[in-house]
Structure 1
Amino acid sequence: MPSSSSYSVLDGLYTLHETIGTGGFAKVKLGVHCLTGERVAVKIMDKKSLGHDLPRVKLEIAAMKELHHQHICRLYQVIETDEKIFMMLEYCPGGELFDYIVSKDRLKENEARFFLRQIISALAFIHDVGYAHRDLKPENLLLDEDQNLKLIDFGLCAKPQ
C-alpha cells in the first residue's frame, strides 16, 4: 500500500482492502465504510497522472451525481485532496458481465433478454437526463449480489447540447 499519508484522508471513514480492478487512470479497491460496515468500491485516481484528462473525470463525477437508476452503479461520495480523487461507489460482487459470459461459454436466450432489458433501461434513462455513455461493453457492466446489471465507467461520457 502507498504511504499512509496519500490515503490518510480516508482514516476513520473507510478501510481499504485488496485491489478489485484497474483501468487507464484509476485503481479500484474494496473498501468498507467504518460506521456502517457496508462494502464499497473505492476508485482512486492520481491527479498528476490525469493531466489534461482531469476535466473528463470532473464530467464523470458530475454525471454519476445526477444518474440515480437501479441499473447504474451508484456514486456514494467523492473525496478530493491535492493529489488524489477518491470515488466511493456501489460494490458489485458478481464481477464483470464479460467474465460471466466467458464462464458460461454463452448465455441462454432468456438470460440474454433479461440483461438486455436492464441495459436498455439504463441507457434510456441516461439519454433522458441528457448524457451519452459512449463506452458500452460487457467489461463496463457489473453484476450485483442479485445478478442484476450495473453500468459503470462514465469516463468517456458526454453531455451534448
Structure 2
Amino acid sequence: MSRHGQTREDQYVGPYRLEKTLGKGQTGLVKMGVHCITGRRVAVKIVNREKLSDSVLQKVEREIAIMKLIEHPHVLGLYDVYENRRYLFLILEHVSGGELFDYLVKKGRLSVKEARRFFKQIISAIDFCHSHCICHRDLKPENLLLDSKLNIRVADFGMASLQPEGSMLETSCGNVNICG
C-alpha cells in the first residue's frame, strides 16, 4: 500500500490519476480516475477514516469484503483497494449512465419492454448475490446505476450482509419511507 496525501502535486492513487468529482456519498467522495498507462476510466471512492465512526468504518470494510466476492455483469465491479493511515481508496468500475432514479425522473414512464429488461438484470444480479449468501438489503433506484448502454449495475453494498443459507435476517435497514 502506497503513501497518499492530499497535496496539489499528489493527484494519484496507485496508477490512477484523479480527475473531476463525480459525487459525494455518506462515507466519502467519488472522483473520476484514469489509469496512467491504459487510460481506463474508473470511479475512485475516497473514504476518510478519521471522519467516520468505528461502526461506519466497519460498514465500509464489510462492503469491501462483500464486493470482493462478487463478479457479475450487473453488479458494480470493485477492481482494487488502496489505503494509508488516513484514507481508503476503492477503485470501482466507472459507469456513465448515472442512477436509475434520475433516469426514471427524466424519462417518466418506462415501456413494458424496457422495464422488463431492467427487471431481468436486477433479478439476475440479486439471484447471483443470494446464491453466494449475500443479501444487499438496500435496493432502491439510487443504488442501481446505468452504463452507457443502459445496462444495470447494482451498487452500494454498505448495508449488505453475508447470510448463511436457511438463516433469517433480524436487523431492519434501508429506507422505510418507500413502504408507507
TM-score w.r.t. length of structure 2: 0.83
The 1:129–1:27 alpha-carbon spacing in structure 2 relative to 1, beyond 3 Å, is same
The answer on 1:55 being equivalent to 2:58 is yes
CA displacement 1:75-128 (0-9 Å, x = unmatched): 111001100000000000011111111111111111001000000000000111
- Partner Cα distance (2:118, 2:110) in 1: 10
- For 1:6 and 1:81, locate their aligned partners in 2 and report how far apart those are by CA, in whole Å: 17
Aligned-residue Cα RMSD (Å) equals 1.7
Match runs of 1:54-133 below 5 Å: 54-133=57-136
From 10, 25, 28, give the equivalent of 1:26: 28
Q: Unmatched 5+ residue regions in structure 2?
A: 165-180
- Cα deviation for residue 143 of structure 1 reads 0.7
Residue 146 (str. 1) matches residue 149 (str. 2): yes
| Structure 1 residue 5, shift from structure 2 partner | 7.8
Pairwise CA distance, 1:3: 3.1
Judged with a 3 Å threshold, the aligned counterparts in structure 2 of structure 1 residues 78 and 5 are, in CA distance, closer, same or farther, namely farther
**Cα offset, 1:160, TM superposition:** 2.3
Could you tell me which amino acid in structure 1 is paired with residue 18 of structure 2? L
Structure index of larger Rg: 2
Show structure 1 runs of 5+ residues with no match: none
CA shift in 2, pair 1:6/1:67, >3 Å? farther
In the alignment, the residues of structure 2 paired with residue 140 and residue 133 of structure 1 have an alpha-carbon distance, to the nearest angstrom, of 10
More helix by share: 1
Query: How far apart in 1 are the matches of 2:149 and 2:27?
Result: 29
Mapped pair 1:3 → 2:6: yes
Shift of 1:8: 5.9
Post-superposition shift, 1:51? 2.0
Q: Which runs of 4+ in 1 moved over 4 A?
A: 5-9
Q: CA deviation at 1:22?
A: 1.2
Match of 2:158 in 1: 155
Do the aligned partners of residues 124 and 100 (structure 1) sit closer, same or farther apart at CA in structure 2, a change above 3 Å counting?
Answer: same
TM-score, length of structure 1 as denominator length:
0.93
Aligned residues: 159
